[in-house]
A and B are shown apart, each in its own frame.
Chain A
Amino acid sequence: EPEVTQTPSHQVTQMGQEVILRCVPISNHLYFYWYRQILGQKVEFLVSFYNNEISEKSEIFDDQFSVERPDGSNFTLKIRSTKLEDSAMYFCASSVFPPGNNSPLHFGNGTRLTVT
């Protein structure tokens, strides 16, 4: 079964550094998402992306965050200047249609980001 793959599985970075988290969604999927889960807290929506633009973003997704689909297969999340509170597990997800249209999200295994 096709999978969403995320790299790296664990990323350690120093506060203030830029970090790029990478995802390869399932090939025929059209909608892409980033979620994050701070340790011990809920899984939180960050951003959705369709047709090469952001469809929706949460209040967490401020100017420090950006997403890109640079080459038609990868979907990246960039954090320009990391803060300690950015430490979390970041999940990429994709779907053929928006989930409400009987098309569930398929999640990757996540990238654990640790900011020191």
Chain B
Amino acid sequence: AQSVTQLGSHVSVSEGALVLLRCNYSSSVPPYLFWYVQYPNQGLQLLLKYTSAATLVKGINGFEAEFKKSETSFHLTKPSAHMSDAAEYFCAVSSSNTGKLIFGQGTTLQVKP
């Protein structure tokens, strides 16, 4: 069975500060990992995905994530937060033989001026 745990339901950073959103996964097969962002009253938008190529994955809006198998982690980072980054962020895992995504509980990112 697969699962995802996002540490911290709320993260608050100052504008310009480093953003770090934590995600740990559990999977009995090589995982495919995703980060999605949800802005208020909108759907889920893909930020980036890991599919067993490079372990450091770059996504949209300056975000990146590093797959660390030894730590079963896929943390999302951005060097400098913008006010527009305020949203809810979801980590998700999938296996190669199903189309089902298992989501974490989400982390709300607040960016303070």
Contacts and interface: CB of A to CB of B under 8 A. Distances in A.
A99 B44 contact: no
Interface in B79-113: 90, 92, 94-106
Interface of B: 32, 34, 36, 41-46, 49, 51, 90, 92, 94-106
Nearest to B31: A100
24 contacts: A6-B43, A41-B105, A42-B103, A42-B106, A43-B106, A45-B101, A50-B99, A55-B99, A56-B98, A93-B44, A98-B94, A98-B98, A98-B99, A99-B34, A99-B94, A100-B32, A100-B51, A100-B94, A104-B49, A105-B46, A105-B101, A107-B44, A109-B41, A110-B42
Interface of A: 4, 6, 31, 33, 35, 41-45, 48, 50, 55-56, 58, 91, 93, 95, 98-102, 104-110
Contacts, number: 74
* Minimum-distance CB pairs A-B, first 5: A100-B96, A98-B99, A107-B43, A107-B44, A43-B103
A1 to B, nearest CB: 11
